[in-house]
Amino acid sequence: MSHQPIRRADYLPPDFGIDRVELEFDLEPARTLVRARLAIRRIGASDAALVLDGEDMELLGLALDGNALAADRYRLEPTRLTIPGVPDAFELVIDGAIAPAANTALEGLYISSSVFCTQCEPEGFRRITWFLDRPDVLSVFRTTIRAERARFPILLSNGNLAAARDLGDGRHEAVWDDPFPKPSYLFALVAGDLAVVEDRFTTRSGRDVALKILVEHGKEGRAGYAMDSLKRSMRWDEETYGLEYDLDVFHIVAVSDFNMGAMENKSLNVFNDRFILADPATATDLDYANVEGVVAHEYFHNWTGNRITCRDWFQLSLKEGLTVYRDQEFTADERSRAVKRIQDVRVLRARQFPEDGGPLAHPIRPDSYLEINNFYTATVYEKGAEVIRMLEALLDRDGFRRGMDLYVARHDGEAATCDQFVAAMADANGRDLSHFLRWYGQAGTPRLTLEQSHDAATGTYALTVSQRTPPTPGQPDKLPLHLPVHMGLIGRDGAEIPLRLEGENAPQGTSRVLELTEASQTWRFVGVEAPPVLSINRGFAAPVVVESSESEDDLALRMRADADPFSRWEAAQSFATRLLLAGIAAAAEGRPPPPTDAFVAALAAAFDAVEGDPAFAAELLALPGELYLAEQVAVIDVEAIHAARKALRAAVAQGLVDRLRHVRTGPPRPFAPDAASAGHRALANMALGYLSTIDGPAAAMAQYRAADNMTDRFSALAILSELDVPERTAALADFHDRHAGDALVLNKWLGLQAGSSLPDTLATVRALLDHPAFSYGNPNKIYALVGGFAGNALRFHAADGSGYAFMVDQILRLDPQNPQVASRLLKAFGRWRRFDADRQALMRDAMERIAATPGLSPDCREIVGLSLA
Ligand code: 0A1
Ligand code: ZN
């Protein structure tokens, strides 16, 4: 396929609009007939030919205003259909045929467990019919679906059901009307034999909405939490943003074969079933939280994505960054704000910071791409959400809400840009945010350095903050960014100091947002009697790295006394990171690890200071992860990182042993999925993990056997899976037999074994490729087993290159069948330059083997090209 880079600077509006689309489907798995009747209108140059996108389809006929077009009136190429000399307004009827059963890429119309479903974002609609498959072409859709009633009793598309009838020959028909103009990527169709779980919701203005979640028969009992999450999301968007649902029905369909998490098609969301199905026996607390978050995310897209969509795919973060921010805020309101923030920052640091620091770095609004599927990234999503959060910090909550209101009022029904979003924020608040816009175009994680001085004679404390963003591919020179510096000052007694800047008449609280716009800026606070302890980047208000040489005493003080809970956690992470980095250096040089007493004592004091928030206490006890630590060292040594972390875990366990044992006393609590109950389990399981480093497997095995919920059972299994003991084998076998036939649970089982640090992990993974629980046809299974192995730093980076060779084989096997999944796995090689020379050579060879493969997908070609560049 002739894939040329697409550049943001080349954007041109379309030459034609398509006002109305009538689709007719005659569904058959092997060969489905699709008729499209398009009402087309010229909006550009009078001599422009009509050029429609289309891939992998068979053209059966074309008619313009009722007249069949002869073959010499149009040109059909592998990715487009060109019709020159068309009138200014006309109707085009296209007859085509597609093969859903043969669709293994899971883009366009495909079949998952005998259910027809679609995935059209970003460019899947062009595999259903020829179209202007771009998000700035908005059309009203009517969809007619015909299929055999026995196999496909349920026929769904976007909007409201307009008609349904029996066709007499064992087939039936349904007609769906969606009154809201939408781009083709939001089209959806589902047909199959599914169970329906129903509920209702009345909107603030009195609209009665039918809520329907469709799942595999027999799984109805696992849809309750998703339904509850949906209703809470609908209420939250009304209360927080005044945004109401706009149709009489909202469908969610859970399918088992899906490349991503879920998809926000208008009124017909299609979900990876792992983000819908949850019950105590099969879902962990993390699964419950993910269901809640993803249901909310897709629902919130109805406004931020659907009612206001993106002009082009470079603007993807317009809908994704904003919607991630919205779902994060929803979870923060429904659960614990501090714990949610900590978890989101962990994900950002583990997934987005490495992306921003490597060969795949790109701004949240990229400048060019070969394959847009490669840009559904942590940068566009998670960093995009951080950029929105910074606007909230700079404009404050009310100002942000004013900006949202103006954005919706201005752009409802339109395809908008990131510039327009920021303009709405600026105009609603009388602010100039042109400098802030640099966040959209500049890649890389800024690094802040600090200088502090205190003048006892005048009681003045001066803080200088400097910023610098390291170069990223294609962007050697970086400009200073506009960012919030959320800070506070703490006295030696642990009390927060009132903050009064020089020139102000009175202090303005004890926590403030300063605005950094220059490369370096100084603020002077008066009325500060003694040298204070600085608490900076509270709540992680800016997605930056703060380079700080804070003393151990100050870190310890902030761990127990900082008024901002996020910063207490952050202080603990910084302290632990400092020790771990020293430990990594020591392990690499065969020296004994550094003393840990001061840290352990500080952690104990911080733990004691946490009152009544076990979820937060569990976060405090969780040491920085291997991925995060890898980012902090000059040359990644996976063995030294693993060893140092293991050693510090053992030291913490010894030092906190009484507290950890105390956590595990008390009567058992009945299971409930709410955040408070989950918090108790999180802390109890964190304690179990630490204690098993002292006590061995017995307690974990006992919990594994006695557990009445998946969180406790799986946590115990995960602990056992890291120990080379007979109990490990027994528990893994038992878990498999208990859950045989439950794909979602067996994926956890696959993932756990793929992620194990034990030395025979690769052999186990190879053997599991032939296990009935695994299949190359299902993305969840591939991500669990093969992706799980790629995320296992210790074993993927085995010094002999066996892990790399294995991954190359898997990627090359998957690429012809599902390039999106293959290219996601390929990203595991991206950080190759950060390793020692031997591993660099092995990883380079591995990628060159991929690059040299004939017929490689554009998806993989782009990733390998960027990685090797
Ligand atoms: N818009 C969806 C993400 C998504 C993107 C691509 C997909 O298939 C290629 C599927 C889903 C979301 O943000 O949830
Ligand atoms: Zn999204």
- Angle between helix axes 638-655 and 565-588 (nearest 10 degrees) is 120
Please give the Cα distance from 809 to 846 (Å, whole number): 10
Among residues 265, 196, 276, the alpha carbon closest in space to that of 230 is found at 276
Mean pLDDT value across residues 593-618: 96
Q: Residue 291 Cα, ligand 2 centroid: separation in angstroms? A: 14
CA 142 to centroid of ligand 1, rounded, Å: 23
Pinpoint the residues of the chain covered by CATH 2.60.40.1730: 6-193
pLDDT given at position 1? 44
Residues whose CB falls within 8 Å of the CB of residue 471, separated by 6 or more in sequence, listed in order = 444, 477, 478
CA distances from 297 to 16, 164, 234, 554 (A): 32, 31, 11, 39
Is the pLDDT at 547 greater than 60, yes or no?
A: yes
Please name which of 416, 320, 428 lies closest in space to residue 372, comparing C-alpha atoms.
320
- Ligand 1 atom showing the smallest separation from residue 373 Cα: 9
Pairing between strand 249-255 and 208-215?
A: parallel
Nearest Cα residue to atom 5 of ligand 1: 121
298 is catalytic: yes
Question: Residue range 689-704: average pLDDT?
Answer: 97
Cis preceding-peptide flag for 122 (omega within 30 of 0) = yes
DSSP secondary structure code for residue 73 in this structure: G
Supply the residue whose CA is at minimum distance from atom 3 of ligand 1: 263
The encoded tokens of residue 795 equal: 């074993």
Q: pLDDT (tens digit, 9 = 90+) per residue, 643-670?
A: 999 999 999 999 999 999 999 998 888 9
State the distance from the centre of ligand 2 to the C-alpha of 306, rounded, in angstroms: 11
Using CA atoms, how far apart are residues 272 and 576, in angstroms rounded to an integer? 37
- 615-628 in b/e form (b: 16+ CB < 10 A) is bbbbbbbbbbebbb
For tokens 């600077």, name the residue. Answer: 9
Q: Is residue 527 within 8 Å of residue 498, measured between CB atoms? A: yes
- Give the phi and the psi of residue 409 in degrees, each rounded to 5: -65, -40
User: Which residues 6+ apart lie within 8 Å of 345 measured at CB?
Assistant: 540, 566
* Separation of alpha carbons 630 and 411, rounded Å: 43
Alpha carbons 277 and 747: distance in angstroms, whole number: 14
What stretch(es) of the chain map to CATH 1.10.390.10?
A: 311-440
Q: Kindly give the number of the ligand 1 atom that is closest to the alpha carbon of 298.
A: 14
Ligand 1 atom at minimum distance from 305 CA = 1
Considering every ligand atom, which ligand is closest to the CA of 818?
1
Assign 827 to helix, strand or coil: helix
Quick one: pLDDT at residue 587?
A: 87
Segment 516-526 shows an average pLDDT of 98
Which contacts (CB < 8 Å, 24+ apart) does range 230-234 have? 230/201, 230/295, 230/299, 231/199, 231/201, 232/292, 232/296, 232/330, 232/334, 233/295, 233/296, 233/299, 233/300, 233/330, 234/201, 234/203, 234/209, 234/299
Which amino acid type is present at position 498? P
Every domain range in the chain assigned CATH 1.25.50.10:
550-695
819-844 pLDDT tens trace:
999 999 999 999 999 999 999 999 99
Residue ranges near ligand 2 (ion) with Cβ within 5 Å: 320, 323
Please give the average per-residue pLDDT across 532-561, as a whole number: 97
**Closest ligand 1 atom to Cα of 381:** 13
Catalytic residue among 107, 173, 216, 298: 298
Q: Residues of 434-449 as b/e, b for ≥16 C-beta within 10 angstroms?
A: eebbbbbebbbbbebe
Atom 1 of ligand 1: nearest residue by CA position: 263
CA quadruple 353, 358, 363, 364: dihedral, nearest 10: -40
Best substitution site from 109, 258, 263, 303 to test ligand 1's pocket, by max atoms within 8 Å of Cβ? 263
* Tens-place pLDDT, residues 274-299: 999 999 999 999 999 999 999 999 99
- Taking only the tens place, the pLDDT of each residue in 186-231 is 999 999 999 999 999 999 999 999 999 999 999 999 999 999 999 9
Say whether pTM exceeds 0.95.
yes
In CATH, the number for domain 550-695 is 1.25.50.10
Q: Across the chain, what does the average pLDDT equal?
A: 97
Q: Give the pLDDT of residue 667.
A: 84
CATH number of 447-540: 2.60.40.1840
For the stretch 52-99, pLDDT in tens is 999 999 999 999 999 999 999 999 999 999 999 999 999 999 999 999
- Architecture label for domain 6-193: Sandwich (2.60)
Between strands 189-192 and 154-157, the pairing is antiparallel
Which residues, in sequence order, are CB contacts of 72 under 8 Å at separation 6+?
A: none
What percent of the chain is predicted at pLDDT more than 90?
A: 98
**Cα dist from 399 to 389, 396, 426, 428, whole Å:** 12, 5, 9, 7
Q: Which CATH architecture has domain 311-440?
A: Orthogonal Bundle (1.10)
Query: Under a CB-based contact definition with an 8 Å cutoff, are residues 268 and 212 in contact?
Result: no
Chain-centroid distance of CA 621 in Å reads 25
Q: Quick one: which of 262, 153, 244 has its CA closest to 207?
A: 244
**pLDDT (tens digit, 9 = 90+) per residue, 3-40?**
789 999 999 999 999 999 999 999 999 999 999 999 99
What distance in Å separates the CA atoms of residue 789 and residue 12, rounded to the nearest whole number?
Answer: 43
Question: Which residue has its alpha carbon closest to ligand 1 atom 8?
Answer: 121
Residue 500 has pLDDT above 70, yes or no: yes
- Token pair recorded at residue 646: 């293991």
CA 78 to centroid of ligand 1, rounded, Å:
25
Tell me how far apart the alpha carbons of residues 540 and 518 are, in angstroms, rounded to a whole number: 20
Cα separations (Å) of 352 from 345, 377, 441, 547? 10, 8, 16, 18
Contact 229, 291 (CB under 8 A): yes
119 C-alpha to center of ligand 1: Å? 8
DSSP H or E stretch at residue 23: strand 16-26
| Single-letter code of the amino acid located at 230 | L
CA dihedral of 699, 705, 709, 715, whole degrees rounded to 10: 40
Q: Is the pLDDT of residue 2 over 80?
A: no
Ligand 1 neighbours by CB, cut-off 6 Å: 119, 121, 259-264, 297-298, 320, 373, 376
Distance separating alpha carbons of residues 845 and 124, to the nearest angstrom? 33
Which residues of the chain form CATH 2.60.40.1840?
447-540
Q: What is the pLDDT of residues 370-408, one digit of tens each?
A: 999 999 999 999 999 999 999 999 999 999 999 999 999
